[in-house]
């Protein structure tokens, strides 16, 4: 490859990595806005912790678990901070940065669902495990060249489905894993005090600033323009410049369609369009399109956005009113449900190998197995981790701390003075 | 001397303020108040219906000499009135004494109204 092309690809990858990093403040603002002011410093702090520990751990061992070669496609060898094993065209340190911000995105999804009642120290333990092992292992199965993405003709996936699992930028690998862990974390914790009445009916606990939440969602939207188009990992040449443009378009269309769908569903359902749910709807469309943003047509992207935006409203209601799992920001619905949905819809709507375009059900089967394997792994780890912490050390703060706010008791500092 | 306390709609505050300044009041204090009443407002947050009983109003507090009490009350009533339920209340009470911190004067001469 010629030198200028490689430099162009590197610069694009690094810019995209910076944009994906910018999703961290997006998550932080979104989660802080949807929760109460007395816990704002705590939730902002958690978003920093996820990124800081994730950066160190993913550099030191996670990168090796994910992209190392040993382990028969199930797990790579830990690299202990040594990056020399990696032999790709792109500079390995830049590539590590790009993968680090994706790992940190998966890690940071959970804090919103567990907001307002988790011990800070126990949250750090969760945060170590996702960056250390949970994310790198399933990442190895897919982007690391493991068993789900092994396209050799005698591999398990090719023999069974005639196709490999495809997740372009991480609907399954990043978002559904974060969403599943969020759901299990919130389940293990139990609801916030006062969230459910004695008769089991759900109560509203309005967040303290839709201004912050809205800014957070806009920032995430921008960050996604790095998340998805950046995952092409190249910009030079006709194929790549066409691909990143296509991905940018499909990403934006799905986000818009998702927000619009949620707006109209809430308008019909509740009599008024709900702004807070529409914010989630935009994210639902973005999460949904992430798996197939390179394979679906612009129309397909709008379909994915609309489906995710509609399903989101019912998923949030189901998790809240039926399962009685208290997820203050809707992370399990947005990232979990819509991540799974987007991965499956890719199997149907992919122009090159999807079932709706007459290419048979092999690719859809590969998507089903992939999402099942990834999320079962995440769920199993989540169960052991969260219930283990719960019974050994306790996940929750005391009732008094929860009532008066985590900021003062966990950190001695309040967000607003 | 009397103290006039009026609880009015937030939306009417600007009008009342202008009207008071245009009449003979040259200083008053105000603050945002939250009241709890019998009326409930239906709200929906993230798919959960709930009702809020918190009513937001502005409370204005004016201390003036006796001869200005009636005109001031009339100004507030005419400007703050919409005719709908929730326009507010006015309370009048006696003030025993007033001191000027700067000059040490006391009595209602401290309240230097225009007239």
A248-274 pLDDT, tens digit per residue, is 999 999 999 999 999 999 999 999 999
**Does the pLDDT of residue B75 top 70, yes or no?**
yes
Q: Do A270 and B50 count as a contact with CB atoms less than 8 A apart?
A: no
Q: Do B46 and A202 count as a contact with CB atoms less than 8 A apart?
A: no
pLDDT tens, residue by residue, A367-388 = 999 999 999 999 999 999 999 9
Q: Please give the biggest Cα pair distance in chain B.
A: 61
Measured CA angle at A134 (ends A128, A135), to 5 deg: 95
pLDDT tens, residue by residue, A323-367 = 999 999 999 999 999 999 999 999 999 999 999 999 999 999 999
B42 has a chain A CB within 8 A of its CB: no
Q: Which of A289, A310, A286 is nearest to A299 (CA)?
A: A289
pLDDT number for residue A78: 87
Those residues of chain A whose CB sits closer than 8 Å to some CB in chain B are 202-206, 266, 269-270, 272, 274, 276-277, 313, 316-317, 320-321, 330
Q: Do A317 and B45 count as a contact with CB atoms less than 8 A apart?
A: no
CB-nearest to B47 from A205, A206, A316 is A316
Report chain A's terminal Cα–Cα distance, integer Å. Answer: 57
pLDDT number for residue B112: 66
**Strand B48-64, strand B29-45: pairing:** antiparallel
| Cα gap B37→B35, rounded to integer Å | 6
Chain A positions in Cβ-Cβ contact with residue B44 (cut-off 8 Å)? 204, 270, 272, 274
The minimum CA-CA distance between B44 and chain A, rounded to whole Å, is 7
In a domain, A417, yes or no: no
ipTM: 0.72
**Does the pLDDT of residue B53 top 90, yes or no?**
no
**Does the pLDDT of residue B66 top 60, yes or no?**
yes
CB atoms < 10 A from the CB of A377, how many?
16
The minimum CA-CA distance between A36 and chain B, rounded to whole Å, is 14
CB-nearest to B47 from A205, A206, A320 is A320
**Does the pLDDT of residue B14 top 60, yes or no?**
yes
| pLDDT over 70, % of chain A | 99
Residue A235: which domain range?
A: 3-411
Chain B positions in Cβ-Cβ contact with residue A279 (cut-off 8 Å)? none
In a domain, B55, yes or no: yes
The minimum CA-CA distance between A35 and chain B, rounded to whole Å, is 12
Domain count, chain A: 1
Chain B positions in Cβ-Cβ contact with residue A313 (cut-off 8 Å)? 47
Identify the band that residue A1 occupies on the pLDDT scale cut at 50, 70 and 90.
low
Measured CA angle at A126 (ends A118, A136), to 5 deg: 150
Domain count, chain B: 1
The answer to whether B80 touches B28, Cβ cutoff 8 Å, is no
Q: Which of A204, A320, A332 would best serve as a mutation to test chain B binding (most B beta carbons within 10 A)?
A: A204
What lies within 8 Å, CB to CB, of A66 at 6+ separation is: A76, A99, A135, A136, A137, A139, A140, A143, A144
pLDDT number for residue B52: 81
Q: Residue B58 belongs to a domain with what CATH number? A: 3.30.70.120
Q: Do B47 and A274 count as a contact with CB atoms less than 8 A apart?
A: yes
| Cα gap A374→A315, rounded to integer Å | 20
The answer to whether A353 touches A359, Cβ cutoff 8 Å, is yes
Give the sign of the dihedral formed by CA A257, CA A259, CA A265, CA A271.
negative
Per-chain mean pLDDT for chain A: 95
Q: What's the rounded mean pLDDT across residues A205-212?
A: 95
pLDDT number for residue A232: 96
pLDDT number for residue B111: 77
Chain B positions in Cβ-Cβ contact with residue A320 (cut-off 8 Å)? 46-48
In a domain, B27, yes or no: yes
Q: Do A270 and B49 count as a contact with CB atoms less than 8 A apart?
A: yes
B38 has a chain A CB within 8 A of its CB: no
Q: Residue A213 belongs to a domain with what CATH number? A: 1.10.3430.10
The answer to whether A217 touches A283, Cβ cutoff 8 Å, is yes
In a domain, B47, yes or no: yes
Residue B104: which domain range?
A: 2-110
In a domain, A69, yes or no: yes
Q: Which of A82, A323, A96 is nearest to A196 (CA)?
A: A323
| Cα gap A213→A207, rounded to integer Å | 9
Q: What is the DSSP letter of A396?
A: B
Q: Do A316 and B49 count as a contact with CB atoms less than 8 A apart?
A: no
Identify the band that residue A196 occupies on the pLDDT scale cut at 50, 70 and 90.
very high
Give the sign of the dihedral formed by CA A346, CA A349, CA A353, CA A358.
positive
In a domain, B115, yes or no: no
pLDDT number for residue A88: 86
pLDDT tens, residue by residue, A399-408 = 999 999 999 9
B112 has a chain A CB within 8 A of its CB: no
Q: Is B16 helix (H, G, I), strand (E, B) or coil?
A: helix
Tokens of A234: 């190249």
Q: Which of A38, A372, A345, A320 is nearest to A207 (CA)?
A: A38
The answer to whether A359 touches A352, Cβ cutoff 8 Å, is yes
């Amino acid at each position: 490859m010629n030198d200028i092309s490689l430099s162009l690809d590197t610069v694009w990858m690094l810019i995209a990595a910076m944009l994906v990093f910018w999703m961290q403040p997006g998550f932080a603002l979104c989660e802080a806005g949807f929760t109460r002011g007395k816990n704002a410093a705590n939730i902002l702090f958690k978003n920093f912790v996820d990124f800081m520990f994730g950066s160190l751990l993913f550099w030191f061992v996670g990168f090796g678990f994910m992209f190392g070669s040993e382990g028969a496609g199930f797990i790579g060898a830990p690299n202990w901070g040594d990056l020399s094993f990696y032999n790709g065209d792109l500079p390995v340190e830049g590539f590590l940065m790009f993968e680090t911000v994706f790992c940190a995105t998966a890690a940071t999804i959970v804090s919103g669902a567990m907001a307002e009642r988790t011990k800070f120290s126990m949250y750090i333990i969760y945060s170590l495990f996702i960056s250390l092992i949970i994310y790198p292992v399933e990442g190895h199965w897919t982007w690391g060249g493991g068993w789900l993405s092994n396209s050799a003709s005698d591999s398990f996936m090719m023999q069974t489905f005639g196709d490999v699992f495809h997740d372009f930028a991480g609907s399954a690998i990043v978002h559904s894993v974060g969403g599943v862990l969020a759901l299990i974390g919130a389940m293990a914790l139990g609801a916030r005090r006062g969230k459910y009445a004695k008769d089991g009916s759900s109560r509203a606990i309005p967040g303290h600033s839709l201004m912050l939440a809205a800014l957070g969602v806009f920032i995430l939207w921008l960050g996604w323009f790095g998340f998805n188009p950046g995952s092409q990992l190249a910009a030079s040449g006709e194929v790549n410049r066409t691909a990143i443009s296509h991905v940018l378009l499909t990403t934006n269309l799905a986000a818009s369609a998702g927000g619009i769908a949620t707006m109209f569903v809430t308008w019909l359902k509740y009599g008024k369009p709900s702004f807070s749910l529409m914010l989630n709807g935009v994210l639902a469309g973005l999460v949904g399109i992430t798996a197939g943003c390179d394979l679906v047509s612009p129309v397909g992207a709008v379909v994915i956005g609309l489906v995710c935006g509609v399903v989101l409203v019912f998923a949030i209601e189901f998790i809240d009113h039926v399962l009685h799992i208290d997820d203050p920001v809707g992370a399990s619905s947005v990232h979990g449900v819509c991540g799974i949905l987007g991965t499956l819809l890719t199997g149907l709507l992919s122009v090159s190998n999807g079932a709706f375009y007459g290419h048979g059900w092999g690719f859809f089967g590969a998507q089903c197995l992939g999402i099942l394997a990834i999320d079962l792994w995440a769920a199993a780890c989540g169960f052991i981790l969260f219930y283990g912490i719960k019974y050994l050390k306790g996940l929750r703060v005391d009732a008094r701390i929860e009532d008066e706010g985590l900021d003062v008791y966990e950190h001695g500092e309040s967000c607003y003075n | 001397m009397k103290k006039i306390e009026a609880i009015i709609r937030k939306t009417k505050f600007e009008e009342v303020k202008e009207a008071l300044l245009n009449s003979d009041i040259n200083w008053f204090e105000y603050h945002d108040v939250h009241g709890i009443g019998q009326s409930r407002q239906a709200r929906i947050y993230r798919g959960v219906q709930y009702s809020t009983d918190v009513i937001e109003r502005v409370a204005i507090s004016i201390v003036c000499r006796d001869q200005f009490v009636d005109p001031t009350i009339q100004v507030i009533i005419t400007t703050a009135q919409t005719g709908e339920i929730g326009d507010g209340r006015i309370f009048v009470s006696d003030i025993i004494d007033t001191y000027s911190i700067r000059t040490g004067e006391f009595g209602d001469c401290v309240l230097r109204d225009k007239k």
